Structure 1
Amino acid sequence: MSDAVRKHREFLFPAVAMYYQDPIELVRGEGNYVWDDTGKRYLDAFGGVLTVSIGHANPKVVEAIVAQVKQISHTSTLYASAPQSNLAEKLASIAPGDLKKSFFTSSGTEANETAMNAARVATGRLDIITLRHSYSGRSLQTLAGCGQSGWKKIPLPVAGIKHAHAPYCYRCPFGAKDSSNCSLECANDIEELIQTETGGEIAAFMAETIIGSGGFMVPPPGYFERAVGIARKYGGLFIADEVQTAWGRTGQHWWGIQHWDVKPDIMCSAKGMGNGTPVAMTIATPAVADKFPGITFATFGGNPISMAAARATIEVIEEQSLLENCKVVGAYLGERFQQLKEKHPLIGDARGLGMMQALELVKDRKTKEPAPQAVIAVFEEAKRRGVLLGKGGVWGNVIRTGLMLNAGKPQVDELVEAIDAGLTVAAK
């Protein structure tokens, strides 16, 4: 046991859990790889929960951070700052629809909290529809919005959150066998939810464009068009939670929601935005942003160091054509995962978009009984082979992967070979 692991266990909340039976102390990272305190190298196939987006210690991002630290490290939003306003201008140029005005914070929790408050103020209504299986943060309001019991052990005296069925095609709550015969009942049910569980009008419909912590659930074609249409029929705004799906991670587009033909009124992101720097954004239409009340700021929101890191991250994505790389390499990853599914009965479903791909493990494909212990076995064997994975799902039975946006087919093959070996071990 390393000294850092020992101190972690002694001095941190026990709830700050670590992966693996023998936890790892990471001491260095470069590109797609990290090293532990013994010098062992690992392929980082989860990126700090999809947060290191363009590689550890990316030279351009490091240079931008160092240059900014040498100039000025902090100024509150009570003063104008070129790093902040330049980033806001750039976001307005790449955001979908009429999204124009940004509010910067330090985490996805803060970004989503800001969005929920902005929607309630703009509409004058309380009720917000979120999705089962979702995760939106760890403040009281965003935890109340979560659709997983495991995250909600803290008492949550927060009113006005209603949970609709998730677009969980593998376990369709309405009995559809697969997405090819889907009638979008999960989206249609939002209308009855509004009619029966609210006063008939709502503040917003808030959804991750791909449900992340819940297991990388990709909605079927037409889902968002139907769901957002219903929400707007009852006065609601649409909040697109892009904390995990933004910055090209789903391939081809900057934003996950661009895979569907809808335009958000509010959009949030964090994680990969600054390639590991604590930074988040809530961007809204002028109609929504201009109604946000009073005088407010986030102490580290708009911090020039984080702003510089985010701007450099966007520039790397543009200069290296990573939207296209993520589409091409992500498609290859999806093909390799489908091959794994054909080989291993433990895999009930293989799903995802771009560099956001998952495998759901089950004990039996007919009953779909979750197999969380199999995930643990795969984790341990993959770690032994030098590959770090992520997991999720309400039952802890989903392997989640988040390769860097600039990963290539060799990293995909390395990842798949480790999971393949892990599944073989788990099957025994």
Structure 2
Amino acid sequence: MQKFATSLNRLTTAKDQLFRRCRCYSQLAQRQSSAEESGESGVRVPILPAFDYSPPLYDGPTAEEILKKRKEFLSPSMFCFYKKPLNIVHGKMQYLFDENGRRFLDGFGGIATVNCGHCHPDVVQAIIKQTTTLQHSTILYLNHSIADFAAALAAKMPGDLKVVFFTNSGTEANELAMMIARLYTGCQDIISLRNAYHGNAAGTMGATAQSNWKFNVVQNGVHHAINPDPYRGVFGYDGEKYAKDVEDLIQFGTSGQVAGFIFEAIQGVGGIVELAPNYLPPVYNSIKKAGGLVIADEVQSGFARTGTNFWGFQNQGIVPDIVTMAKGIGNGIPLGAVVTTPEIANVLTRRNYFNTFGGNPVCTAAGHAVLKVIERENLQENAHVVGSYLKERLTALKDKHEIIGDVRGRGLILGVELVTDRKLKTPAKTEILEIMEKMKDLGVLVGKGGFQGNVFRITPPLCFTKEDADFLVDAMDYSMSKL
């Protein structure tokens, strides 16, 4: 009798879930119908593009159950988007699904991480194949996975950038890059940019320049230059005037010799701020005269995301001495890397440098698969074409809604800054939360960033289509019209 009752409960639960699933898939038609019935003339509710895929039924814990456990056992510093946090249980290409089977367009890509698309079959198969063969050994033994991926990655780099150090994250990659620069030059001073974000470990927190992300711990040896921000910066789009501040910092804030300069071609956490044109070439020259190395942080802008080039720094025509990367390198697998020249890399032979999980065969197999997918599916070209189209539509939206102060970025790393007063550029910190909630209710997920938290971060998977772009903009337009 007990077994029968248990089976009946399971069957009832499955039916309830199936009912919710069917109800969720028809919600868009219901929403459109209700809008028409309410007499909202001229207002059309955006409709999710068609997607021929149904996720498996979810029978795991509910959002409420997970939230309760998270509050008890996980870090209190963790936070969620939305008033009612989403329980995302499944992903497929540019879409995510919640516990009820509701589909969302992913305009955030796990913070510019999912480049190929959620659960891309080629990446998944590479992971499964390597996991069933060898999940982990150590770099003290030979394994072709790490060597093959390093060679493929080096082939995507310009100049003599061909020696690869694998890490587990972008923070770790930037820590290693800064240490290499200090060892190679014999200097300690690093120049970074205000509004930058390079990680939250000891050294990278020093290079990060937003108080939101900095704890009151010892952070020394880093100088922060004026940010070449075309929208909020004092010199607008004049990159050369901003570059003069780096030269002044070297002359008046250091011994005249520096270890290096670290930068993001497009600042992600800082609100998708693209460095002013013609900024990097004169800065590069100033750093070289001071004996330093130039470090490009490509954690968010790398791996074809900018569309016009594979790496963000290439958009300003320089070749750095060190390049760091993570996020899109593994499509969600924990993986990062530092790439530099043989001469510079040699400094780590002065002592033992070792990383237990850096170069893990499963992670590097995934990374290699990601490179192949980007090439085979022309995702860089797609990022350029769809990203340009999306930016044009967002820019046109600016003419309609006064709350949009700026639209920026390139490819599929775009930012929309919201302000309550365009002249004063007053951050719309409250309004952006309301718009995000409305967009989520329509089925669109986007990120939020900038020092004041008033910038939409749009960094979707690179398989995004023009239909997806239209839906995202229409949802934003509709949500803003409801303020």
TM-score, scaled relative to structure 2? 0.86
Q: Deviations over 1:206-262 (max 9, x none)?
A: 001111100111122211111111111111110000000111000032111111111
Does the residue aligned with 1:102 lie in a helix, a strand or coil?
strand
- In structure 2, give the amino acid aligned to 1:256: G
Root mean square deviation of aligned Cα: 1.1
Q: CA deviation at 1:105?
A: 0.6
2:205 is aligned with 1:143: yes
CA contact (8 A) 1:144 1:158 kept: yes
What is aligned with 1:311? 368
CA contact (8 A) 1:333 1:412 kept: yes
Alignment of 1:171-182 (within 5 A): 171-174=232-235, 176=236, 179=237, 182=238
What is aligned with 1:241? 297
Q: Deviations over 1:280-335 (max 9, x none)?
A: 00000112101123112212100000000000000000001111111111100110
Alignment of 1:46-195 (within 5 A): 46-152=108-214, 154-174=215-235, 176=236, 179=237, 182=238, 184-195=240-251
What is aligned with 2:471? 414
What is aligned with 2:407? 350
CA contact (8 A) 2:239 2:279 kept: no
Q: For 1:39 and 1:7, locate their aligned partners in 2 and report how far apart those are by CA, in whole Å.
A: 22
Q: CA deviation at 1:183?
A: 5.5
CA contact (8 A) 2:239 2:278 kept: no
Tell me how many residue pairs correspond in the alignment. 420
- In structure 2, give the amino acid aligned to 1:291: V
CA contact (8 A) 1:46 1:389 kept: yes
What is aligned with 2:56? none
CA contact (8 A) 1:96 1:258 kept: no
What is aligned with 2:338? 282
Q: CA deviation at 1:202?
A: 0.4
CA contact (8 A) 1:96 1:264 kept: no
Q: Deviations over 1:36-81 (max 9, x none)?
A: 1122111111011011111111000000000000000002111222
Q: CA deviation at 1:188?
A: 1.1
Rg larger in structure: 2
Q: For 2:467 and 2:205, locate their aligned partners in 1 and report how far apart those are by CA, in whole Å.
A: 38
- In structure 2, give the amino acid aligned to 1:280: G
Q: Deviations over 1:144-200 (max 9, x none)?
A: 111100001x223132011011111101134x4xx2xx2622111101111111111
What is aligned with 1:15? 77
Aligned partner (choices 346, 352, 366) of residue 295 of structure 1: 352
Q: For 1:80 and 1:374, locate their aligned partners in 2 and report how far apart those are by CA, in whole Å.
A: 55
Q: For 2:166 and 2:217, locate their aligned partners in 1 and report how far apart those are by CA, in whole Å.
A: 26
Q: CA deviation at 1:344?
A: 0.7
CA contact (8 A) 1:135 1:213 kept: yes
Q: For 1:298 and 1:4, locate their aligned partners in 2 and report how far apart those are by CA, in whole Å.
A: 33
- In structure 1, give the amino acid aligned to 2:451: V
Q: CA deviation at 1:89?
A: 0.7
Does the residue aligned with 2:146 lie in a helix, a strand or coil?
helix
Structure 2's unaligned 5+ residue stretches are: 1-62
Q: CA deviation at 1:278?
A: 0.4
**What percent of counterpart residues are identical?**
43
- In structure 2, give the amino acid aligned to 1:61: V
Q: CA deviation at 1:6?
A: 2.1
What is aligned with 1:263? 319
What is aligned with 1:218? 274
2:439 is aligned with 1:382: yes
Q: For 1:263 and 1:156, locate their aligned partners in 2 and report how far apart those are by CA, in whole Å.
A: 33
- In structure 1, give the amino acid aligned to 2:229: Y
- In structure 2, give the amino acid aligned to 1:101: V
CA contact (8 A) 1:217 1:352 kept: yes
- In structure 1, give the amino acid aligned to 2:225: A
The 1:305–1:343 alpha-carbon spacing in structure 2 relative to 1, beyond 3 Å, is same
Does the residue aligned with 1:65 lie in a helix, a strand or coil?
helix
- In structure 2, give the amino acid aligned to 1:164: A
Larger mean Cα displacement after TM superposition, 104-113 or 416-425: 416-425
What is aligned with 2:419? 362
Q: For 1:303 and 1:52, locate their aligned partners in 2 and report how far apart those are by CA, in whole Å.
A: 19
Q: For 1:116 and 1:273, locate their aligned partners in 2 and report how far apart those are by CA, in whole Å.
A: 20
CA contact (8 A) 1:97 1:264 kept: no
CA contact (8 A) 1:143 1:156 kept: no
Q: For 2:142 and 2:189, locate their aligned partners in 1 and report how far apart those are by CA, in whole Å.
A: 35
CA contact (8 A) 1:51 1:272 kept: yes
Does the residue aligned with 2:155 lie in a helix, a strand or coil?
helix
TM-score, scaled relative to structure 1? 0.96
Does the residue aligned with 1:143 lie in a helix, a strand or coil?
helix
CA contact (8 A) 2:281 2:318 kept: yes
